[in-house]
């Protein structure tokens, strides 16, 4: 029972990270109708920046801030420098260019920093807090949960309560009409990419310390999990990403705890295939499935 509680709590913390990353995928999907397969590679570049900054200044928080800034900068560079040139006649070309980006970024990191896994330190106690004799969450997991909730709340406010959010939503849903009404659609697209990449960088930064460490491939699995989350929740729905993240996080934590860590990727694959076979639009999406 104690173990179950511990796994559930850890799963929630992991799920919060998956949800954040999935949310970043949803943001780009809504803004540009592209599933950004390079999101993981872009995020890991930002985490390397954070790692370097933390190494130079000795402060985790300076690294934390720099990861978010670097994430936004990478999002800007990718949108303006690469994605803008994707041909629009086929939905696949965006995906293919993103894959090229993954290869470029990961191999460049490999050349610059080598394939060695670098452990990342966090200024938190790793030992779990014990509540009523049951070990529940480590302070770091608590921090992850708080950050994830704060970011989601901030994004929620941004999208529903501000003029910028309104413009972002408008240019995503009806670009032509928005342009006629004076919205700078192209700029909104860039802002969408920057927001999304920054959120992804944050999610990767939160995840890496809980894993083995930082390497050019640290986010490969995170991307697959987050993609699963986005599919489970529906790519169009931010609340779906949140719920999906928690579901997948808890599920993975239970699978890892009871069946072993090697089974987790298989469980994700099975979950993904089952969801796609049963409800291709996502469990939490009420909309019609997209054609073609």
For another protein, the binding residues (CB under 8 A) are: 32-35, 37, 82, 84-93, 95-97, 99-108, 110-111, 114-115, 171-176, 179, 185-186, 189, 220-221, 223-224, 227-228, 231, 260, 262-266, 268-269, 272-273, 276-277, 280, 289-292
Inter-residue contact 241 to 233 (CB < 8 Å): yes
Smallest gap from Cβ 78 to another protein, in A, equals: 11
Smallest gap from Cβ 86 to another protein, in A, equals: 6
Smallest gap from Cβ 140 to another protein, in A, equals: 26
**H-assigned helices in the chain:** 2-32, 39-57, 60-81, 91-113, 139-161, 163-173, 175-180, 185-207, 220-233, 238-259, 264-278
Residue whose CB is less far from another protein, 74 or 147: 74
Residue whose CB is less far from another protein, 138 or 167: 167
Smallest gap from Cβ 162 to another protein, in A, equals: 20
Give dist(CA 167, CA 240) in Å, integer. 22
Give dist(CA 233, CA 243) in Å, integer. 7
**Taking Cα atoms as reference points, which of 95, 101, 50, 96 lies closest to residue 72?**
50
Residue whose CB is less far from another protein, 161 or 184: 184
Inter-residue contact 202 to 65 (CB < 8 Å): no
Residue whose CB is less far from another protein, 28 or 136: 28
């Amino acid at each position: 029972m104690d173990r179950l509680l511990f796994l559930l709590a850890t799963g929630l913390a992991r799920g919060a990270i998956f949800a954040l990353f999935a949310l970043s995928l949803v943001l780009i999907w809504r803004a540009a109708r592209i599933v950004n397969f390079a999101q993981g590679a872009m995020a890991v570049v930002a985490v390397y920046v954070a790692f370097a900054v933390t190494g130079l200044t000795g402060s985790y928080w300076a690294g934390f801030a720099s990861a978010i800034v670097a994430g936004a900068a990478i999002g800007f560079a990718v949108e303006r420098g690469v994605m803008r040139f994707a041909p629009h006649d086929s939905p696949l070309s965006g995906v293919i260019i993103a894959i090229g980006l993954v290869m470029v970024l990961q191999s460049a990191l490999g050349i610059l920093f080598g394939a060695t896994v670098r452990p990342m330190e966090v200024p938190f106690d790793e030992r779990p807090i014990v509540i009523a004799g049951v070990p529940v969450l480590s302070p770091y997991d608590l921090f992850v949960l708080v950050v994830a909730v704060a970011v989601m709340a901030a994004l929620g406010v941004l999208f529903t309560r501000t003029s910028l959010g309104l413009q972002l939503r408008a240019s995503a849903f009806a670009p032509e009409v928005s342009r006629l009404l004076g919205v700078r659609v192209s700029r909104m697209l860039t802002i969408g990419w920057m927001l999304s990449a920054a959120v992804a960088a944050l999610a990767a930064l939160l995840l890496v310390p809980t894993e083995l460490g930082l390497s050019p491939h640290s986010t490969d699995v995170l991307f697959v999990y987050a993609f699963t989350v986005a599919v489970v929740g529906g790519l169009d729905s931010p609340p779906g990403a949140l719920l999906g993240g928690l579901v997948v996080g808890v599920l993975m934590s239970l699978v890892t705890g009871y069946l072993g860590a090697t089974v987790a990727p298989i469980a994700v694959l099975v979950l993904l295939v089952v969801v796609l076979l049963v409800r291709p639009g996502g469990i939490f999406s009420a909309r019609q499935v997209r054609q073609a």
